[in-house]
Structure 1
Amino acid sequence: MDVSGQKDTVARLLGYLESDPANVALLRDCAAAAMAAGDVATADDCYTRLERAAGLSDVESSAAGLAAMRNGRQARAIALFAALADTHSDDIAVRFNLAWSLALDRQFERAAALLDEATVAALPQAAMLDLQLAHERGDFDGAAEKLLPYLTAHGDYAPLQAAASVLAMDLDDEVLARQAAIAGGEHPDALTTLGTLLLGDGDSETAHSLLDRALAQNDRSPRAWIGLGLANLSLGATDEALRQIDHGAELFEDHLGSWIAAGWAHLIAGNREGAAARFEKAMALDDSFAECHGSLATIQVLAGEIEAAERSIAVAFRLDRQCFSAAFARVLVAAAQGDGEQAGRILDRALDQPLDDQGRTLRQLLGRLAR
């Protein structure tokens, strides 16, 4: 039966349950039909009522856990899978589902502890989750060690390739990121990674298409929103670009680079006040991040505040000798010779013009900051 037929079945069974709300057979059938139809809220409700009326078999407990997890009730999912794990300690599917529900509840350490060698060897989705948990916890060395072995074991699993592409970007391995993103196919994370890389290549039109497809599948991806905004900025759709980049930064919340990327987007669009506000937001989150100081230095140069800019540049370089925004601000100081209007004209040409001895462009800076 197709999904439409399953939905009709659910509607019919719910009608029967209105007349006989504690009918165990009806609750069991309705829960199963709702799961098949993708109606997790109804399935979750029916399994909860079934548990009260007659208890749940192990198979029903597992299905009830999945329904609760997909319905956003992680505490119930954890309780159901934990009870199953107590009596089925060798069941790798139960271990994975418990780990997944714990991860969704942001109990990352507990989740990772369940993903032993046997589980990640048997289930590609467990290998993917283990990689994501290491990444989420900031264990980049641990994640990097697992990356290639997991790809070797489960290379045909597109979601793992997509997760690997995201990690590879944060590891600054653009070759692996591109390979994994291509292997990840239409997975939204893979599309986002490839779109971000194409932005750095200067192919904004193709990047826009990929990022738009990514957001059609997952409209809560901050990286995709910022990437789409940067693509639109390059394509001249400035107002739309600024809304998208700001939305991505808000989804990221405390991600420094996204606020700095948003600030630069506003600066390129001529909104210095908006740019300064976003740079200051990043500074308030972490004033030890060099790009905060380098970005504010650019604002100061544009305002003709050369001495203040030079102090900010010095701070940025003390924090990071490779700070791109500080290098750009220094170029502005030298080229504009204290003339804020001349600095503004240089900024207008900066998106694709090499600005330091490594040949980096402002477009590349924005793409890197927004990762």
Structure 2
Amino acid sequence: MQAEAQERLERLLSYLDQDPENVPLLRDVAQAAMAAAAMDQAKALYGRLKQLGELSEADSNDWAIAAMRSGEPKLAAATFAGLLETAPGDQALKFNLAWARSLAGDEEGARSLLDEELVDALPQAAQLEVHLLHAAGKFDEAAERAKAHLARHGDYSPLLAATSVLALDIEDEVLARECAERAGAHPDALTTLATLTLGDADPDRARALFERSLTINAQSPRAWVGLGLTDLVAGKSVEAGEKIDRGAELFGDHLGSWIAAGWAYLIAGDLSKARARFEHAVELDGTFAECQGSLAVTEILMGEGEAAKGRVEIALRLDRQCFSAAFANMLLAAVEGDPEKGRRFIEIALKQPIGESKRTIVDMVTRMAR
């Protein structure tokens, strides 16, 4: 199908070369570029229509969509806003404006458009609302809205997939699994199923699901992190660090991913890389106890015991149940100022349950990163 669309575009472009100011042909070529997912080309072609004074409202809408999909959401938002002024009741335009604002980083502006009428009418608007609430950390409200939307749009795969991801974060594994299974081959749903499968101690099937998700969307941060965690469970800590790094970079500010990358490198024995990831996590949010506790572990292994003691105190003030701080205290007692003892302790502790939680280091990292 995509090959046919590309072939049609190339054929029409050859006609346009012979008659560059033929407005109907120019419009056909622009639409063909949209169909072929050649968004930069489509945007340029609609720009030529504008220069000729022949850009209709429908053309403007397509031009804005092309701009949004080619990395210019602010231009798209401005165009959609202008169109909406002339057609205030157009729900599709209102959604497109909300989507463009979201991509441009104006989450509040996007959410202000997602009224009941819009989310009832369009399942993609309902999915966007769940995504925005989730991204804003409003988990309870997001879950409440997701369940209400599913009652109306229960067959819409992107909404089911978004709800499955949210359900993982609120630790509702039953809802996560149910939504992911109903969402079919949506990449986010596959990643949710892979994450649950990894938790079920089936790393081979989890790996296959993560890899399948990445064939659909190679820029999925959750899939990269999950694939790295699968490597970590398999004892491939170097490969794990590289994959989790990629996911963390795609996420940007997801603390659990940066901490997981740090632990993967720490387990691999690359303390400088581990420290850099933990320090970055502290820079993102120094009030998250696991950032401080994880950095303390690295400081101990690098012979900086006094600094580590102070950092452990900070972590435990922030969270008395902080796993990494509890581990750091055990490590301090075990190493007796000898970093080499610390490295041997890490090797022994990797598969041993630690503290009251009875979780291993790998368990902790896997749970935090998801």
Q: Same fold (TM over 0.5)?
A: yes
Gaps of 5+ in 1: none
- The one-letter amino acid of 1:18's match is D
Q: Which residue of 2 aligns with 1:8?
A: 7
Q: Which residue of 1 aligns with 2:238?
A: 239
8 Å CA contact 2:281–2:291 kept in 1: the answer is: yes
Q: CA deviation at 1:130?
A: 0.8
Q: Distance in 2 between matches of 1:9 and 1:295?
A: 56
- The one-letter amino acid of 2:253's match is D
- The one-letter amino acid of 1:262's match is A
Q: Which residue of 2 aligns with 1:267?
A: 266
Q: Distance in 1 between matches of 2:114 and 2:288?
A: 34
Q: Taking structure 1 as reference, are residues 349 and 177 closer, same or farther at Cα in structure 2, changes over 3 Å only? A: farther
The alignment status of 1:257 with 2:256, answered yes or no, reads yes
Q: Which residue of 2 aligns with 1:202?
A: 201
Q: Taking structure 1 as reference, are residues 365 and 51 closer, same or farther at Cα in structure 2, changes over 3 Å only? A: same
How big is the alpha-carbon RMSD for the aligned residues of Structure 1 and Structure 2?
Answer: 2.4
Q: CA deviation at 1:93?
A: 1.1
Spell out the pairing of 1:249-328 with structure 2 (5 A cutoff): 249-302=248-301, 308-328=307-327
Q: CA deviation at 1:341?
A: 4.3
Q: Which residue of 2 aligns with 1:360?
A: 359
Q: Distance in 2 between matches of 1:58 and 1:263?
A: 51
8 Å CA contact 1:242–1:265 kept in 2: the answer is: yes
Q: Distance in 2 between matches of 1:63 and 1:306?
A: 61
8 Å CA contact 2:261–2:274 kept in 1: the answer is: yes
Q: Distance in 2 between matches of 1:32 and 1:10?
A: 9
Spell out the pairing of 1:37-76 with structure 2 (5 A cutoff): 37-76=36-75
Q: Distance in 1 between matches of 2:221 and 2:5?
A: 34
Spell out the pairing of 1:113-192 with structure 2 (5 A cutoff): 113-192=112-191
- The one-letter amino acid of 2:30's match is A
8 Å CA contact 2:241–2:262 kept in 1: the answer is: no
8 Å CA contact 1:200–1:363 kept in 2: the answer is: no
Q: Distance in 2 between matches of 1:60 and 1:274?
A: 50
Q: Distance in 1 between matches of 2:67 and 2:339?
A: 58
8 Å CA contact 1:262–1:278 kept in 2: the answer is: yes
Q: Taking structure 1 as reference, are residues 177 and 327 closer, same or farther at Cα in structure 2, changes over 3 Å only? A: farther
- The one-letter amino acid of 1:215's match is L
Q: CA deviation at 1:303?
A: 5.0
Q: Which residue of 2 aligns with 1:193?
A: 192
Q: CA deviation at 1:46?
A: 1.8
Q: Taking structure 1 as reference, are residues 298 and 323 closer, same or farther at Cα in structure 2, changes over 3 Å only? A: same
Q: Distance in 2 between matches of 1:3 and 1:248?
A: 28
Q: Taking structure 1 as reference, are residues 312 and 81 closer, same or farther at Cα in structure 2, changes over 3 Å only? A: closer
Indicate the SS of the match to 2:97: helix
The alignment status of 1:229 with 2:256, answered yes or no, reads no
Q: Distance in 2 between matches of 1:231 and 1:37?
A: 36
Q: Which residue of 1 aligns with 2:16?
A: 17
Instruction: Write the deviation string for residues 59-93 of structure 1: whole angstroms up to 9, x where unpaired.
Output: 33333332222222323322332222112211211
Q: CA deviation at 1:337?
A: 6.2
- The one-letter amino acid of 1:93's match is A
Instruction: Write the deviation string for residues 247-282 of structure 1: whole angstroms up to 9, x where unpaired.
Output: 222223333322221111011112223222322222
Q: Distance in 1 between matches of 2:266 and 2:346?
A: 9
The alignment status of 1:329 with 2:328, answered yes or no, reads yes
Moved more, 357-366 or 261-270: 357-366
Q: Distance in 1 between matches of 2:52 and 2:317?
A: 67
Indicate the SS of the match to 1:357: coil
Q: CA deviation at 1:131?
A: 0.9
The alignment status of 1:96 with 2:95, answered yes or no, reads yes
Q: Taking structure 1 as reference, are residues 276 and 62 closer, same or farther at Cα in structure 2, changes over 3 Å only? A: closer
8 Å CA contact 2:259–2:277 kept in 1: the answer is: yes
Among the aligned pairs, what percent are the same residue? 53
Q: Distance in 1 between matches of 2:302 and 2:65?
A: 57
Query: Could you tell me the TM-score, scaled by structure 2's length?
Result: 0.90
Moved more, 60-69 or 100-109: 60-69
Q: Distance in 2 between matches of 1:253 and 1:367?
A: 18
Q: Which residue of 1 aligns with 2:105?
A: 106
8 Å CA contact 2:232–2:362 kept in 1: the answer is: no
Q: Taking structure 1 as reference, are residues 268 and 63 closer, same or farther at Cα in structure 2, changes over 3 Å only? A: same
- Corresponding residue pairs, total: 370
- The one-letter amino acid of 2:124's match is Q
Q: Distance in 1 between matches of 2:166 and 2:135?
A: 10
8 Å CA contact 1:100–1:111 kept in 2: the answer is: yes
Q: Taking structure 1 as reference, are residues 49 and 248 closer, same or farther at Cα in structure 2, changes over 3 Å only? A: same
8 Å CA contact 2:238–2:265 kept in 1: the answer is: no
Instruction: Write the deviation string for residues 197-226 of structure 1: whole angstroms up to 9, x where unpaired.
Output: 333333222222111122222222222222
8 Å CA contact 1:196–1:367 kept in 2: the answer is: no
- The one-letter amino acid of 1:76's match is L
Q: CA deviation at 1:128?
A: 0.3
Q: Distance in 2 between matches of 1:335 and 1:203?
A: 33
Query: Could you tell me the TM-score, scaled by structure 1's length?
Result: 0.90
Gaps of 5+ in 2: none
Indicate the SS of the match to 1:90: coil
